[in-house]
Amino acid sequence: MKNEILLDAVRQYGSPLYVYNSNKIKSQFIKLTESFKNVKKLQINYAVKASSNISILKYLINMGAGIDAVSIQEVKLAIKAGVEPNKIIYTPNGVSLDEIEKVAKIGAKINIDNLAVLEEFGNKHKKIPVCIRINPHIMAGGNSKISVGHIDSKFGISIHQAPHIERIVENTGLIINGVHMHTGSDILDIDVFLNASEILFRIAEKFKNLDFIDFGSGFKVPYKPGDSETNIEELGRKLTKRFNTFCENYGKDLTLMFEPGKFLVSEAGKFLCKVNSIKQTTSTVFAQIDSGFNHLIRPMMYGANHFIENISNPNDIERYYSVVGYICETDTFANNRKISSISPGDILSFSNAGAYCFSMSSNYNSRYRPAEVLYIENELKIIRKREVFEDLIKNQVEINL
């Protein structure tokens, strides 16, 4: 999106503001599907947790996406957006058996990552097929906070526990219809991904009633100009060849599944904030904005580096600024970052704000969550209203004291 469009969005809807470019979402979806076009059965399941706005869900579902959900609430959101239950794979972690049973009644695919839960579910519901989430014990991703396939991860059933899985399946009569892995985010080296896939293939060979293999996601996207990204086309060529060979040996054409979230929507999003003031200290120049980690927590939580541009004054002399928020905590978005000269009232644009940004926002400090806008067919359309004071108190119960 051009800066003029983003500035117009702020003029119409105020700041802070999330703006998403539908064309970028579409191009990412096409890029992934084209990279695996030689797979006979391919299903791309969008990871709702990345951005759960129902308009974005509808947009992806209309392109043919299925849904990866991690809670019963995400399952219900997906159905409200128009997806068929059988195109949802439910991959929870640490939830109650009761929630899993409720989702099973809805008709979504069930993915279990706990031996105890697998056995309990199998004893009660042996006629309901389930998928098994495997932990391949491969350290993948940008850092330890976003890698979930390592040996100490709470996610997945260890590959070393495969005999236990087989025993539970034999004892309960469970039908295993899929195997799944997700090793982490920001995976750049496709060989790491391919090595983990080989582990998944070895597990898959043990079960004779599979319908699909879910390879998760975690593809890296660029976070600044010139940044590296996962070579999806090369991964597509190599994994397609190996997957097709596996299906031939297995004697059945299985569905290859992915569950991208960040890959599809991250680059589509811009987070726009207004500069409240410039504060000079003895060693630092702070650009203080009308937001904080209540709206965008990833830099503080994960050390994420979001490219920041002054779209009000993009071509001036670059100076060093620390961009900070208005929360009464340390909410530093960037330290000593070179940005075109900033003045109060300027609009700063944060890139890669489409995934895990609004969806992780909060009302900390009793601040309102921002509005969301979708740029589609050359038009800015509001897809979430800005919160107001009544939203803060609507579920509170004021008692007489």
| Phi, psi angles (nearest 5°) of residue 27 | -65, -35
DSSP string, 36-72: TTTSSSEEEEEEGGG---HHHHHHHHHTT-EEEESSH
273 tagged catalytic: no
State how far the Cα of 329 lies from the Cα of 110, in Å rounded to an integer: 40
Asked if 392 and 368 count as a contact pair (C-beta separation under 8 A), the reply is: yes
Select which of 131, 247, 328, 357 is catalytic.
328
**To the nearest 10°, the Cα dihedral for 353, 360, 110, 99?**
-160
Which residues, including other chains, have CB under 8 Å from residue 76's CB and lie 6 or more apart? Answer: 106
Strands 332-340 and 371-376: unpaired
Reference 112, options 136, 91, 85; nearest CA is 91
- In the chain the first and final C-alpha atoms are separated, in Å, by 53
Coil, strand, or helix at residue 321? strand
Alpha helices in 107-254 (DSSP H): 115-124, 162-172, 190-204, 232-250
State how far the Cα of 155 lies from the Cα of 267, in Å rounded to an integer: 27
State how far the Cα of 244 lies from the Cα of 250, in Å rounded to an integer: 10
For tokens 């009000």, name the residue. 312
Judged on CB neighbours under 10 Å (0-12, 13-18, 19+), 129 is middle
| Catalytically annotated residues | 328
